[in-house]
Amino acid sequence: MRWKGRRVSSNVEDRRGGGGAKAGGISIVGLIVAFVAWKFLGVDPQQAYQTTKQVTSGLSSSTETRGLDNPTPEQQESIDFVGTVLADTEDTWNQVFQSQLNQQYVAPKLVLFNGSVNSACGAAESAMGPFYCPGDQKVYIDTAFFKDMRNQMGITGEQNATELSRDDQAGDFALAYVVAHEVGHHIQTLLGISSQVQQARQQANKVQGNQLSVRQELQADCFAGVWAYHNHERTQFLEQGDVQEAMDAAHKIGDDYLQKRATGHVVPDSFTHGTSAQRVQWFNTGLKSGQMSACDTFKQGV
């Protein structure tokens, strides 16, 4: 993936310098434990963040918003990479909102953190993975999650990767897909989709609520594909193998894949994000069409 030399977003908020428990990175065990505790049991992902509120309840805003004092070259590169991808989403969605919706796009903030963080949705630990909080319209990412994708989830097979990507390392686009998916949730908030889903879930039973969550997550995957389509038109940023890396990433965060790995079996009624095949399918739908209208997972069969 070609990303260097383009604009870096000013909407990145680096909270990695002070405050919070230092988790030292997220392991695949942590991902599985989080999956079983929250997603497998069908708890609302937005509400799940409240369960760890005590972890960071004592943090002051002054320490939580401080960036790294002397970032290493790898840490600085992580800031530049995430900032470039976020800028790409800003520039692309500005164009798409105007051309396809005749609306003005309002960009989210993106918060980088270490170990744990406070958000308007409550406190969260890195084991929960990247998330979007509609309460403050911010994307939260512990960049150690990216390193874990490389080293432990085996998305790229890179065993000695640094905190984020370098030109001689594969997997950049898989990481960009994660950012684009969370920005997809922001788009759902802007369009009122998130609030509609939340209202519908309150009136639904557990299985129906999970199904609504699946459709919401798959739509965010599709929006990530729409972004990739138009961003490539703008910047020609995709290289050979990039799309396959994103497909591999989507496959390995499917509910069936994670459940099978965690418990040895799958329970479809408990799915909240979609199967591996569904996640690949809907990312591909957005990538091939470039149309937001193609991403209506609530009316189409998933």
Judge residue 104's burial from the number of C-beta atoms within 10 Å of its C-beta, 0-12 exposed, 13-18 middle, 19 or more buried: exposed
Q: What is the pTM of this model?
A: 0.78
Instruction: Give 142 or 58, the one with higher predicted confidence.
Output: 142
pLDDT per residue over 23-43, tens digit each?
A: 333 344 444 444 444 444 444
pLDDT of amino acid 152: 55
Which DSSP state fits 247?
H
Higher confidence at residue 279 or residue 43?
A: 279
Strand order of the sheet with strand 131-133? 12-14, 109-112, 138-141, 131-133
* Radius of gyration, CA atoms only, the chain: 18
For the chain, what is the mean pLDDT? 78
Q: State residue 151's pLDDT score.
A: 67
pLDDT of 15 over the 80 cut: yes
Domain boundaries, the chain: 12-295
Specify the 3-state DSSP secondary structure of 140: strand
